[in-house]
Amino acid sequence: MSKETQRSSGRHRLDRDEAAADALELARQMAPGPERNKALKLAGALRRSADERGVVFAKRGRPRKS
């Protein structure tokens, strides 16, 4: 993967993280009710989407069996 591709994917990740955080903040400011519940669910979906598209690191600990 080229450095430019890594930079742009990192930038898009930050954009998704910011969009999810903004959606959550707006949802929290809404009055209680069904519209707020839908907004909170959407914000959670955006957060999961941002997390899924992030960099996946290997777990630390014991090495893999050969």
Give per-residue pLDDT as tens, 4-56: 444 445 566 678 888 888 999 999 999 999 999 999 999 999 888 887 776 55
Q: What CA–CA distance (Å, rounded) separates 34 from 11?
A: 33
Measured CA distances, 63 to 20, 30, 58 (Å):
35, 48, 10
Please report the pLDDT score of residue 50 as a whole number. 81
Domain annotation covers residue 34: yes
Please tell me the distance from the alpha carbon of residue 28 to that of residue 44, in angstroms, as a whole number: 12
For residue 22, which of 5, 39, 35 has the smallest C-alpha distance? Answer: 39
Residue 42 belongs to a domain: yes
Residue 11 lies in a domain: yes
Is the pLDDT confidence value at 59 over 80?
A: no
Count structural domains, the chain: 1
Flag whether 16 is in a domain.
yes
Asked if residue 59 is part of any domain, the answer here is no
pTM over 0.85: no
